[in-house]
Structure formats: C-alpha cells, structure tokens
A and B are shown apart, each in its own frame.
Chain A
Amino acid sequence: MVSPSDSDPAADALPDYRRQSPAVAARFAALRQRPVVLEIDRLGRQFAGEHGPVTALRDISLQIHRREFVCVIGPSGCGKSTFIRLLAGLDTPTSGRVLLDGKPVTGPGPDRGMVFQGYTLFPWLSVTRNVMFGLEMQGKAATEAERDALQWIDLVGLRKFAHAYPHQLSGGMKQRVAIARALAASPRILLMDEPFGALDAQTRAQMQAHLLEIWRNVDVTIFFITHDLDEAILLADRILVLKANPGEVQELIEVPVPRPRRLDQLTTPEFLATRRRLDELIHPKVAAHVASERLPIVRLTQLGDDVE
C-alpha cells in the first residue's frame, strides 16, 4: 500500500484533503446543526496485563450527529474493537463515559444495534426468525414481528432466502441478514465492527453499495469500523483515525468527497487527497520501514530459480 504521492509527481497537484467544495461544506454545516445522538466523553479503557495495566484506549472524545456516517480506522490492535464494545455497552470504560441522546450508557441495549465481524446469526433459527428476534424482544406479537421482519429482509434483498438457515447462506448474505436483524430492532445508532472484513473484494464492494443504499433509506446513524482505507473514504462523512499503544485519536477527518457516493469516485482528486492523508497517518514511511527490517530468511531455493 504505497501512497500515490511517493512516485507520482502529478499527485502533488492533489488538492488539500481539507478543502471542501461549497456543496460538501454546506452539507457538513447542516450536519453539525443536527442533534447529537452519541456523545463520547474522554473515554478510556485499561486492561490488566501481565506486566501491569495496559491502556487500550485513552481519552477519546467525539460527538456523532443524527444520520451521520462515522468510520473509525487504525492499525491492528489499536483498540477499535474495544472502542465499539464500549459504545455497545458490552464492556465498561475505566474512564470517561458514553451518552446516547444525553443518557449515559450502562449496558447493552436495543438502542445500539451491532453487527459483528464474525458471523453471529443464531444458527438454529431461519433468516426470518433471526430478524424477528429483536422485534420479539420488544414484545411484538409473532405475526406482526414476522411481517416487519420480512420487510427488512426485502430491504437487504434476501426475500428468496427468508426460510433458509444461516449455514445455507454465503458470507455476504449472512452479514446482510445481520444488518437486517440489527436494524429491525430500530436502533438509534448502528455499530459495525469490520463487518465486511471477511468478504472477498467483489462481495465487499456490493455490500458497501448496499449499506449506503440502506443508510439513505433508513433513519439511522452508523458507526463503522474498518481497516480498509478506501472503504472508510467511500462510506464515511467523517473518519476517526486512531493510533496504537495507547489507542488515541490521531485526527478526525471530514471527507471532502461529495455524495451520493459511487465506486467510480475512487479516482477523483478529493478521494485521492484523502487517501494520501490516511496513508500518511496509518502507514508512516512504509517503504523505509520495510527496507530497514528485512526478514532474517536464509535462501532455500536453487540458484537460477528466481521468482522476482
């Protein structure tokens, strides 16, 4: 992953990633006027390690507005999963707090839906019954829950598989069901932890388009973790870049790429400029790093049998 600027002199002509077109600037201004759904206030989490406490997250503050799409990126092990679990209430912070609509988060609840990286559909339930789960937890009658569930299944385009069991679905389909299941419980915010991380490139692109489409049509705020930089730029209004050891906010980027987003925006100047900035933040001086740390491998092949 070498940023385009390293070799390409034309890339230096890229605009500043902070420069926004009037339309984009107006959109961000409007966005800031919307009410805050989730307020993250100096959030921190320490784990008890073998050699004393390990700080996984430190002092993270962020306000997420209604119907905003926020992505979080950061190197592996920087505490992204820890972060999202704190928001979901599946873990408790050691400092700071999380407020949802002004009320402190004390535990998991249906107002914060979650899509996990691994597949967490209930394998003993059909697709419909999986999606009905949250509705039934809210005390909806079975027939009503089933009708609602089928609407959500329609929305993710899996009507044909409504009666299938999870083991009969492909990875992408499973995640679509997981999204439908989370949305059916009508959460205020949808938390997604690298939901497309295990999918192949093509399915992943489809799922990204799908997710944007869903987000346009459903009144929901999305908090999305990824390690794919293009994915973050393609999806997000704002990108929170974390750094590792301890996990801290490195920068909060307002993505200058106009909406509606499409895959062919991948080569627009705004996109490339943002991409270059993210590369700088996530992979500082990759080339030098790789060169200085050659792996201690002894040559094990025949002479004249070179592959490179």
Chain B
Amino acid sequence: MSRWFSIRQDLTPGRHRLLGVFAFLLPLAVWSLFSYVPWLWHPMVRVTDPAGVSWIKPGQILPREDFAKLVEKQAALAAPLPTGAPANPLYFPPPHAVGRALYTAFTTEPVLKGDKWLHEAIFSSIGTIFWGFTLACLVGVPLGIFCGASPAVARLTEPFVDFIRYMPAPAFGALMVAIFGIHVAPKIGIIFIGVFFPLVLVVATTVRRADVSLVEAAQTLGAKRRALVLRVLVPASLPDLYNDLRLLLGSAWTYLIVAEVVGVSSGISFFINQQAKYRNFDNVYAAIVIIGAIGFTTDQALAWIGQRLFAWKNPRPSRLRRFFGRLTGSTASPAPVASA
C-alpha cells in the first residue's frame, strides 16, 4: 500500500472518492464546531429572560459586553438579573438553519407581491448566464481560433482585446443600461463583455499550442488553409478549448452577481439582497450555496462529458464517444490494442 501523501502519485480510486467527500465534510465540521460548541467564539448573547428590563426581548441578540454591563447595572440596583445563552451573530447561522432554509426558501412566498420566488430567481439568473455566455462563445470562439491560426489576425486583434480585457466589465454597467435599457439585456451585455475578451485570448493561446508538426503533416498531404484550420487545428485543440470554456463559465457567474444589480435588480442577486435586508441570513446562505451547487454540478457534468467526448486524449474506451462517432459518421468501434 502506498502512502497517503506521496508526491505526484495517483490516488487509488477509493481514496480519491473518500478525500473528495472529506473536502466537503471538513469545512462543514469546522462550521458545525463554531456553531454548536458554546465556548467556541459565540461573541453574542441571546436573551432568554429579560427579567423586567424593558428594552430587551426574549430571543434578542446583543453583544456579550453590552449584556454583561446590563447585568452589572441590574445587580447594582438589586433587581432580578436577565439571563441569556451564548450565541453567534445573525450573519453566522448554524448548518441546520441553512439546511432548513435550503428547503423553506423555495416554499415561502415572496414578502412583497410581485417579487420572485427563489426558483424563479434562479431560472432568471441561469437564463442571463446562458445568453451572455453563449453569445460570447458564438463570437469569441471563432475569432480566437482565427487568432490562433493566423499570426496576422492575432496581431490585428489581440493588442486591442488585451487592452479592453483590463477594464472591469461592471464598469460598463451604466453604458449597458443606456444602450440596452434596464431589464435583462444590459445584464447579458455585462456578462458578454466579461467573458468575451478573455475568451478570445484564451482560445487563441490554446489553438497556438496545438502541435505544429500535425499542421505540417497535413500540408504535405495537400491540406490548404481552410482544411488546416477546420480539419487539423480545431480538432487538435478541441479538448483544451472545451476545458477553457468550462473555466470561463465559472467566471461568468462572478459577473452575473454584479450584472444583476445593474438597472432593475433581478435574479438570484436580487433575492440575496432582499433576504439580507430582512435579515434572513439563513436564506442568504442557502442562495449562495445553491449558486455553488449549480456551478459545481454543471462543471462536473461537463468534465464527465468531456472525458468521454475526447477519449483519444485520455485513452479509455467510451460508449458516449462511439455514439458521437456514429452520429458524425466516423467508424469508431472497439479495436484490439497493439502489443507489438
């Protein structure tokens, strides 16, 4: 049996899975410790009995020093002493509260009429991301591929793209509202700006990294420009391009949160801000966790699909690839593995 923490040695599948679970259990354990062990942190006091002090109510949370002063004052007056239990600030709800909120946030009606339910907010956010990201890809991927394929196009494009890339996308917020109005369009615009410019550069770099000897081999087989791009450079860099897009999809979520407060606030950011206003911090956490869960599962799913789609990159037979192979007419079928 190999050691657990050896350098750059692949984990056994069992350990791989186990450690993956621990990656989530450990933070949860820390969170639980600070939430449930009364003498860990707990800088506040939750009043259980006001004992006649008129300006505090049972369940109210106040800083420990303030409560101590209050008790001192009452003691000096020989009045009955208020009692309380150690508590954490409101903004640090315990795991079970957030867990409950994960469910109740979907079932509680919005406070104001016309506000969105949580699931509606989530769908609206996903829609914004989808359109912003898709539009950025539709324009950015071909442009990036051209840049990667042709040094002339790259030189003509990349310096300016690089220049704009340094401008934070949210800085275009006011401009987007002026151009596209106050609803969903400017939000899509901000995500587009945030994703498009890095995308072009990343795609170009990935295409440039493709093995030049494959291009040369294709040239000696009679491939001209168009075929060199479409039949050699694109398929050669497709697995890496796919991973690039996965990473950028993550950054699209970052821009989403800023984009959604531009113009008429909407989507999951609106829900979060609204709940924070009502001081329902467990709902705030629930919404944040949901964003994380959506991002994480999308990414894992895409990784899983990618591994099967580009099996030639990581040798492992795959039914999905064969399926796609049949769709595209290539004759991918199992073959004996060479031994000679």
The chain A residues found within 8 Å of chain B, CB to CB, are: 88-90, 107-110, 112-114, 116, 118, 120, 122-126, 128-129, 133-134, 137-138, 142, 160-170, 172-173, 181-182, 185, 191, 203
Contact A109/B312 with A128-B331, A164-B338, A172-B340 known, Cβ cut-off 8 Å: no
Query: CB-defined interface of B223-256 with A at 8 Å, one 1/0 digit per residue?
Result: 1100100011001101000000000000000000
Is A165 touching B221 in the complex (CB atoms < 8 A)? no
- From B9-17, B149-157, B173-181, B212-220, the one touching the partner chain is B212-220
**Could you say which of A122, A134, A164, A166 contacts B235, with CB atoms under 8 Å apart?**
A122
Is B220 touching A113 in the complex (CB atoms < 8 A)? yes
Q: List 17 A-B contacts (CB under 8 A).
A: A110-B221, A112-B220, A120-B217, A122-B218, A124-B236, A124-B310, A125-B235, A126-B335, A129-B330, A133-B221, A137-B227, A163-B332, A164-B335, A165-B335, A167-B312, A170-B339, A182-B221
Is B332 touching A126 in the complex (CB atoms < 8 A)? yes
Q: How far is the CA of A134 from the CA of B232 in the complex (A)?
A: 12
Q: How far is the CA of A63 from the CA of B236 in the complex (A)?
A: 38
Taking the closest CB of chain A, its distance from the CB of B235, in whole angstroms, is: 5
Q: How far is the CA of A191 from the CA of B218 in the complex (A)?
A: 14
Is B337 touching A168 in the complex (CB atoms < 8 A)? yes
- For residue B336, which residue of chain A has the nearest CB? A160
Is B333 touching A163 in the complex (CB atoms < 8 A)? yes
Residues of A contacting B220 in the complex (Cβ-Cβ under 8 angstroms): 88, 90, 108-110, 112-114, 182, 191
Q: Does B20 lie at the interface of the complex (its beta carbon under 8 Å from any beta carbon of A)?
A: no
- For residue A187, which residue of chain B has the nearest CB? B220
Tell me how many residues of B have a C-beta within 8 Å of chain A.
34
Residues of A contacting B217 in the complex (Cβ-Cβ under 8 angstroms): 114, 116, 120, 122
Is A165 touching B312 in the complex (CB atoms < 8 A)? yes
Is A173 touching B338 in the complex (CB atoms < 8 A)? yes
Residues of B contacting A126 in the complex (Cβ-Cβ under 8 angstroms): 330-332, 335
Q: Does B315 lie at the interface of the complex (its beta carbon under 8 Å from any beta carbon of A)?
A: yes
Q: A125-B235, A133-B231, A168-B335 are in contact. List 20 more A-B contacts (CB 8 A).
A: A88-B220, A90-B219, A108-B216, A109-B220, A110-B222, A118-B213, A120-B217, A122-B218, A123-B236, A124-B312, A137-B222, A137-B223, A161-B338, A163-B335, A165-B315, A167-B312, A168-B337, A181-B221, A182-B221, A203-B340
Is A185 touching B312 in the complex (CB atoms < 8 A)? no
Taking the closest CB of chain B, its distance from the CB of A115, in whole angstroms, is: 9
Taking the closest CB of chain A, its distance from the CB of B299, in whole angstroms, is: 23
Q: Does B279 lie at the interface of the complex (its beta carbon under 8 Å from any beta carbon of A)?
A: no
The A/B interface has a contact count, at CB < 8 Å, of 108
Taking the closest CB of chain B, its distance from the CB of A293, in whole angstroms, is: 35
Q: Does B313 lie at the interface of the complex (its beta carbon under 8 Å from any beta carbon of A)?
A: yes
Q: How far is the CA of A227 from the CA of B211 in the complex (A)?
A: 25
Residues of A contacting B334 in the complex (Cβ-Cβ under 8 angstroms): 163
Is B221 touching A113 in the complex (CB atoms < 8 A)? yes
**Could you say which of A161, A167, A181 contacts B315, with CB atoms under 8 Å apart?**
A167
- For residue B332, which residue of chain A has the nearest CB? A126
Q: How far is the CA of A134 from the CA of B219 in the complex (A)?
A: 9
Is A134 touching B338 in the complex (CB atoms < 8 A)? no
* Residues of B289-317 contacting chain A, CB below 8 A: 310, 312-313, 315
**Could you say which of B216, B227, B235 contacts A124, with CB atoms under 8 Å apart?**
B235
- For residue A112, which residue of chain B has the nearest CB? B220
Is B222 touching A116 in the complex (CB atoms < 8 A)? no
Is B336 touching A137 in the complex (CB atoms < 8 A)? no
Is B236 touching A134 in the complex (CB atoms < 8 A)? no
Q: How far is the CA of A181 from the CA of B217 in the complex (A)?
A: 10
Q: How far is the CA of A163 from the CA of B238 in the complex (A)?
A: 21
Q: How far is the CA of A168 from the CA of B340 in the complex (A)?
A: 11
Q: How far is the CA of A70 from the CA of B217 in the complex (A)?
A: 21
- For residue B222, which residue of chain A has the nearest CB? A110
Residues of B contacting A181 in the complex (Cβ-Cβ under 8 angstroms): 221
- For residue A119, which residue of chain B has the nearest CB? B213
Taking the closest CB of chain A, its distance from the CB of B22, in whole angstroms, is: 34
Q: How far is the CA of A142 from the CA of B329 in the complex (A)?
A: 10
Is B338 touching A122 in the complex (CB atoms < 8 A)? no
Most buried by B among A89, A133, A169, A172: A133
Q: How far is the CA of A129 from the CA of B312 in the complex (A)?
A: 14
Q: How far is the CA of A182 from the CA of B216 in the complex (A)?
A: 12
| Top 9 A-B residue pairs of the complex, sorted by shortest distance between their CB atoms | A110-B222, A164-B335, A134-B221, A108-B219, A137-B222, A120-B217, A114-B220, A170-B338, A169-B338
Residues of A contacting B219 in the complex (Cβ-Cβ under 8 angstroms): 89-90, 107-109
Residues of B contacting A114 in the complex (Cβ-Cβ under 8 angstroms): 216-217, 220
Contact A173/B213 with A123-B312, A133-B218, A163-B333 known, Cβ cut-off 8 Å: no
Residues of B contacting A116 in the complex (Cβ-Cβ under 8 angstroms): 213, 216-217
Q: How far is the CA of A166 from the CA of B214 in the complex (A)?
A: 13
Residues of A contacting B336 in the complex (Cβ-Cβ under 8 angstroms): 160-161, 164, 168
- For residue A158, which residue of chain B has the nearest CB? B338
Residues of A contacting B211 in the complex (Cβ-Cβ under 8 angstroms): 120
- For residue B218, which residue of chain A has the nearest CB? A133
Q: How far is the CA of A95 from the CA of B213 in the complex (A)?
A: 25
Is B214 touching A122 in the complex (CB atoms < 8 A)? yes
Contact A185/B222 with A122-B236, A126-B331, A203-B340 known, Cβ cut-off 8 Å: yes
Is A137 touching B221 in the complex (CB atoms < 8 A)? yes
Q: How far is the CA of A169 from the CA of B333 in the complex (A)?
A: 15
- For residue A110, which residue of chain B has the nearest CB? B222
